[in-house]
Structure 1
Amino acid sequence: MNYEKYLQTEMQYIRAVFLCLDFFESKSVKITHIYKLNNLKKSVRYNEYFLYNQLNHFHLNERIKDRFAIEILLKLRLREYIGELDLLIDGKSRTEILFGFDYYMYLKTNKDISKLIPFIEKTGLFVW
């Protein structure tokens, strides 16, 4: 995969997260688990100083409302500056978005999401 294709895939994940936020009418995410990696060498290699410097702005149990900040947080995870990340998006239904290895993204909820799935599939992501 070349870098341009990677960026397209990254945006598919970001759009999918925002679709979930909109579906659950959530205005924020809460970081319920975060494991940060020190990838300074990687940031130098890929000229991602801005992104790397944002790493210390995110903390456990922090609630993030700004969509640009949420996008930065997701990019940090997808580019492996954050090794593990779990986000609470709806407290009533305990709906969470979890990121696993190999770009697996899990939506954990007790709500019916059958109307959400077609929108996520339209981003180009595979839903199982």
Structure 2
Amino acid sequence: MKEDWTAISDIGKVFNGKELTIESYKKTEDSYISVIRLIMEYLNVPYLTVTDVIRSFPLEMFKNLISDYHELYSKEMIEYYSSEKNNDTLEKEYIDVFCRLLLREDIGSKIFYNRKMKIFIGYDYLMSIHTSKSLDSMISLIEELGLYVEDFSK
């Protein structure tokens, strides 16, 4: 096991002799988002449902806390932080914005498509995807994106 970063707040810190830059952070985050989109496409999932939305901070405090990472937060993302509600349908064009907020621990939420797909994004940059169909054929694609896959179905 090696020491590795686990949060956006680790940007600027050194892990295994290498500084975590905004660019390398975003590259990993992009990989997580790509995996979600790949699996949605594979399962023919047109949208996701969002429930139990919890915001980590009131909006003004959130804006202050993210000021060190302003290049990672678009105006759209900040607006989305304050507007997403329980039982909202998350259309494909907003998957990136919402899941980035989850990965950054800015919000917490259940996110799923009934009977096909459930995504868990939690503390320490952990993502788990439960599906109605085996993802064995996709594991090599996911690993090519630089992510580690642990198969719990066996």
Could you state the TM-score of these two structures normalised by the residue count of structure 2?
0.72
Determine which of 12, 24, 28 is the counterpart of 1:5.
Answer: 24
Q: Highest relative contact order (Cα 8 Å, sep 6+), 1 or 2?
A: 1
1:98 and 2:120 are equivalent in the alignment = yes
Identity over the aligned pairs, expressed in percent? 23
Structure 1 residues 41 and 110, CA gap change in structure 2 (3 angstroms):
same
What is aligned with 2:45? 26
Superposition CA RMSD, Å: 1.7
1:118 and 2:140 are equivalent in the alignment = yes
Higher CA-based Rg: 2
* 1:62-81 deviation line (CA, Å, top 9, x unaligned): 112232x1111111112222
Contact 2:102 2:122 in 1 (8 A): no
* Aligned mates of 2:38, 2:74 — CA distance in 1: 28
What is aligned with 1:41? 64
Moved over 3 A (4+): none
Determine which of 111, 115, 119 is the counterpart of 1:87.
Answer: 111
Structure 1 residues 23 and 49, CA gap change in structure 2 (3 angstroms):
closer
What is aligned with 2:96? 71
* Aligned mates of 2:82, 2:49 — CA distance in 1: 16
* Aligned mates of 1:109, 1:66 — CA distance in 2: 18
Contact 2:103 2:122 in 1 (8 A): no
Count, aligned residues: 124
Give the superposition deviation at 1:109: 2.7
